[in-house]
């Protein structure tokens, strides 16, 4: 599903000759964090979540940005935590490769290969994608050109799709399917099954609720 040697880092650096160093990020448990150059990581694309002292990326976001050559990632451990702020210590001077981070992520999340493949496919289609754990799905997807903001939103600025990632041999009950559709309906979004086959190709099926 993931081919070796497909990192885009060198390609990115060639296109950006003036870029001397990439933003330095740290793998800490199930998240990747950075303390500096937060806006540079966040934009363009609205990656991660900016907090007071850092930006936090999910593993799928971090792996995608690593592949695109926009960040470098080091193993780290938590050294100190005061309130919402944390301090870390770097465990290695060598940055993680794409495959190293991919294997770590797969060891943490058994569904990671399918989730990453769907995330990558949606991003490559030019869509804005955010994690969806808070809403009980894998991802939330917005229309092209949407800018994330707080406060009142137009219809276009709301989540357009909630996405569930599954392998091609996945089966579910009608109750599970109904819950997923209701979830999408409750936040005025559309529900997509993203089915990943054994070759890593993604097919999307929209499931709609019809009330007679």
Residue 191: which of 183, 202, 201, 199 has the closest Cα? 183
Encode pLDDT of 177-204 as tens digits: 888 888 888 778 889 999 999 999 999 9
Residue 24: which of 58, 74, 68 has the closest Cα? 74
What CA–CA distance (Å, rounded) separates 2 from 96? Answer: 16
> What count of Cα atoms within 13 Å lies in the side-chain half-sphere of residue 182?
6
Give the DSSP per-residue string, 160-208.
-EEEEEEETT----HHHHHHHHHHHHHTT-EEEEEEE-TTS-EEEEEE-
> What's this model's pTM, rounded to 2 decimal places?
0.84
Encode pLDDT of 36-65 as tens digits: 999 999 999 999 999 988 999 999 999 999
Which tokens in the block code for residue 78?
């938590």
Domains of the chain from N-terminus onward: 9-108 (3.40.1170.20), 112-207 (3.40.1350.10)
Encode pLDDT of 58-89 as tens digits: 999 999 999 999 999 999 988 777 777 888 88
């Amino acid at each position: 599903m993931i081919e070796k040697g497909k990192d885009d880092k060198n390609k990115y650096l060639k296109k950006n000759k003036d870029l001397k160093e990439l933003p330095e990020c740290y793998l800490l448990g199930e998240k990747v964090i950075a303390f500096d150059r937060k806006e540079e990581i966040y934009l363009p694309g609205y990656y991660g979540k900016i907090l007071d002292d850092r930006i936090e990326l999910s593993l799928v976001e971090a792996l995608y940005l690593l592949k695109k050559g926009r960040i470098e990632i080091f193993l780290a451990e938590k050294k100190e935590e005061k309130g919402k702020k944390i301090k870390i210590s770097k465990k290695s001077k060598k940055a993680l490769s794409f495959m190293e981070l991919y294997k770590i992520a797969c060891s943490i999340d058994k569904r990671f290969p399918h989730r990453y493949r769907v995330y990558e496919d949606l991003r490559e289609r030019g869509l804005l994608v955010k994690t969806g754990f808070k809403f009980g799905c894998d991802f939330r997807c917005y229309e092209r050109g949407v800018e994330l903001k707080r406060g009142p939103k137009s219809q276009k600025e709301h989540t357009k799709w909630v996405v569930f990632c599954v392998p091609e041999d996945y089966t579910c009950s009608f109750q599970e399917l109904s819950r997923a559709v209701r979830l999408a309906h409750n936040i005025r979004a559309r529900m997509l099954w993203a089915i990943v086959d054994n070759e890593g190709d993604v097919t999307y099926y929209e499931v709609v609720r019809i009330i007679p």
